[in-house]
Structure 1
């Protein structure tokens, strides 16, 4: 694969530090290539939790959380790997084969990657299962549940204008 093509969507880097939430726009390149997203999140200086929320092309979302030992991630729809580099990269990291059929929708990765921040795996599963919602709406539910919906919405307003 050469240059990643521009993929529509957005990435938000979320930081929780000293009990406060901050959101920052991620480089659009992060949507095309998982390594770019991971590198950017690792470069976010914070003593607290740092994770990325990526909504890709109105099709699926990825939650990424770098840790000293590696990367925790959740891909909302494994079948996206058949069409999108970043989803294929995610399955590579997880060492999972892509599904045969694009109509099979299931998540792949760690549903508990935000559990310590207040979003248990079972609740994240419920959000993933809301397949009638757009990924930005599913991410909005995650933000709501964790308590940074206002920051997330304000942030989206600025990047989606």
Structure 2
């Protein structure tokens, strides 16, 4: 099930506090371990929103939003669980089944309303997820723009 090659992509934390957005890198290990991402995000104590954006191998993305009792999650493509441990971990936490190997359909799994309070309603997020000709970093850029932290997102990506 696990991909043995090094996982490429990026993991970033996004924090909104006092009306200002801040993006910072997460440990690259977060791309392979959901618990690593959740633990790192929980360590960023804030009175505002805290969530993580993980873009994995130009294949899919995960949005992770820690809560006091777990995490709210969105996996852009449930089929990624067939090849990536982190995607399988997301499905496990969501108690969702991985698709069949012969399914060519891309579908999200998790909470499409994960960023609704930040300006990204579920139906709009679903449209972005379904833009399959875009890479995950491009999809996340659209999300960042819509929520209001596009400049911070782009600046951090330039550094990574």
**TM-score normalized with structure 1 length:** 0.94
> Unpaired segments of 5 or more residues in structure 1?
none
In 2, are the aligned partners of 1:13 and 1:53 still within 8 Å (CA)?
yes
Query: Structure 2: how far apart are the matches of 1:25 and 1:55?
Result: 12
- Aligned match of 1:46: 46
- Aligned match of 1:73: 73
Query: Structure 1: how far apart are the matches of 2:133 and 2:78?
Result: 16
What SS does the corresponding residue of 2:106 show, helix, strand or coil?
coil
1:45, distance to aligned residue in structure 2 (A): 1.9
What SS does the corresponding residue of 2:145 show, helix, strand or coil?
helix
Query: Structure 1: how far apart are the matches of 2:127 and 2:100?
Result: 24
- Aligned match of 1:107: 108
- Aligned match of 1:34: 34
What SS does the corresponding residue of 1:38 show, helix, strand or coil?
helix
- Aligned match of 1:64: 64
Query: Structure 1: how far apart are the matches of 2:156 and 2:145?
Result: 14
- Aligned match of 2:143: 142
What SS does the corresponding residue of 2:74 show, helix, strand or coil?
strand
| 1:97 correspondence with 2:97 | yes
**TM-score normalized with structure 2 length:** 0.95
1:47, distance to aligned residue in structure 2 (A): 1.3
Query: Structure 1: how far apart are the matches of 2:128 and 2:11?
Result: 18
- Aligned match of 2:130: 129
Query: Structure 2: how far apart are the matches of 1:157 and 1:36?
Result: 23
Flag the 1:5–1:32 CA change in 2: closer, same or farther, 3 A. farther
> Unpaired segments of 5 or more residues in structure 2?
none
- Aligned match of 2:13: 13
1:5, distance to aligned residue in structure 2 (A): 6.1
- Aligned match of 1:158: 159
